[in-house]
Homo-oligomer: A and B are copies of this chain.
Amino acid sequence: MAVAHLGHAEIRVTDLERSRWFFTEVLGLYVTEENDERIFLRAWQDWDHHTLILMRSDHAGIEHVGWRVETPEDMGAYEKQLKELGIEYRWIEGGTEPGQGDGLRFLTPGGMPFELYWEIERFAPQGNLQKEDDSLASALPSHPWKYPSRGIGPRRFDHVNFLTDDPGTEQEWMTRELGIHHRYYAENSDGDRMASWLSRNNLSHEIAVQRNKNQNGALLHHVAYFVDSPDQMMRAATILADNGIEIEWGPGQHGTSGAIFLYCFEPSGNRVEVWTGGFLIFAPDWEPIRWTPDIAPLGYELWGSEMPDTYLTYGTESHFTAVPQRSVSTPG
């Protein structure tokens, strides 16, 4: 048993209107639905009802990340497993999150707020168009939405990244309990784990955990959306700059994955990555690639630009409102 893939993230935003502007007009996501408290977004070729949720809050942060399981039966099996592991969890009833079935929420040992779920509504323009402009529906059955001509226009949701106190332990837990493969990692000169990148699917990673320099628990490092080409990355950078959005780092290239990246901050302060390219992993016996300190700088940025200090220290709060933070107790 293993999760199927990373499905979505819910982030907290302090300025819902400005963040909405950023994610729709600048980044170019589309609203599936929204209410006073939350906005449900997806990229133009995200097939699911949502891949990002903006939640109105008094601080920036991550509310939860959702992993889809492989079969409906796995939901119960995971509940049993969490019990056995002594990890507190909570069921979110289907429909509480629009477009989604029952969710099983818990914190990882290191404090990352995870959700497992099976049911998710497939986005259908005809089903949702009463709320949106039907000029965006495409004639193509492979286009859940027209090819975007607004903003940066990423194709799909890609991955999340957390700062955690102990990335090695966190990686081992995800690999052992959720079947998420370990793909590559960085060590310092003492052999301590500095970061790990993992994926269940063929992406080079769906989740990364990086050592939190301040050792103050799990923080959201960033959420990432995928654009189609290096050229669109350059276009993205120019759109961001001309809209006054600060680019923290990039465009650069991660030598680890070969992906081209940029990081910026959305108006509420969460870090967002625009990402493209890089390799896919098909081998069933993949050996995680080790990045030692002598070569790791090229792993982080192949082209040689300097990593900003904030990259290793800044994150936004990791939350899980439904469960007391970091409490780990055996229910029942």
Contact = CB atoms under 8 A, between A and B. Distances in A.
Contacts of A168: none
Interface string A199-215: 00111000000000000
Which size class do A's interface residues fall under? 35 or more
A149 B146 contact: no
A183 B54 CA distance: 32
A257 to B, nearest CB: 7
Contacts of A184: 142
A176 B152 CA distance: 41
Interface in A223-253: 228-235, 237-244, 246-247, 250-251, 253
A197 to B, nearest CB: 11
A246 B255 CA distance: 15
Q: How many copies does the complex hold?
A: 4
A149 B230 CA distance: 17
A320 to B, nearest CB: 24
A234 B238 contact: no
A150 B148 CA distance: 9
A128 interface: no
Given A142-B257, A230-B230, A302-B140, A239 B289 contact: no
Given A141-B291, A231-B232, A284-B71, A302 B241 contact: yes
Contacts of A244: 139
A146 B304 CA distance: 17
A252 to B, nearest CB: 8
Interface stretch (A11-19, A92-100, A275-283): A275-283
Contacts of A121: none
A259 B5 CA distance: 22
A4 interface: yes
18 contacts: A5-B284, A48-B283, A68-B282, A68-B283, A140-B255, A142-B184, A142-B257, A142-B279, A143-B255, A147-B239, A150-B150, A230-B234, A237-B253, A237-B303, A241-B302, A241-B303, A250-B303, A280-B280
Interface of A: 4-5, 25-26, 28, 45, 47-48, 68, 70-71, 138-143, 146-147, 149-152, 155-156, 184, 201-203, 228-235, 237-244, 246-247, 250-251, 253, 255-258, 260, 262, 277, 279-280, 282-284, 289-291, 295, 298-299, 302-306
